[in-house]
Amino acid sequence: MSEIWRASHRLKGLGYFCAVAAALMLFFGVISPRIVSSSPTLQHSSELQEFYGIRGGLMYYTDLETHQETQDAVRYAMKQRFRIERRHIVP
């Protein structure tokens, strides 16, 4: 009896795994592309990334030089912004 229970439990686990895998494939393969194609803002963002050759996944995981350059540029821009704001403060 316990062997039958173990086999049915394994099949139940396998079925759950297959259902989750199918749901993920459906979301990333069908639903996400349709959301991107129906949103003008996301289309524009995608076009800009293609135009400038930006590969977001690579930038964050493998292209450390680009990541460092971006971080330095943001830091510099923030420092410049705070310097401009300090000039306009009246004591």
Classified as helix, coil or strand, 89 is coil
Which tokens hold the place of 38?
């129906």
Alpha-carbon radius of gyration of the chain = 25
- The pLDDT value recorded for residue 81 is 79
Asked if residues 7 and 13 have their Cβ atoms less than 8 Å apart, the reply is: no
The mean pLDDT value for 31-35 works out to 88
Full-prediction pTM beyond 0.95? no
Mean pLDDT of the chain: 80
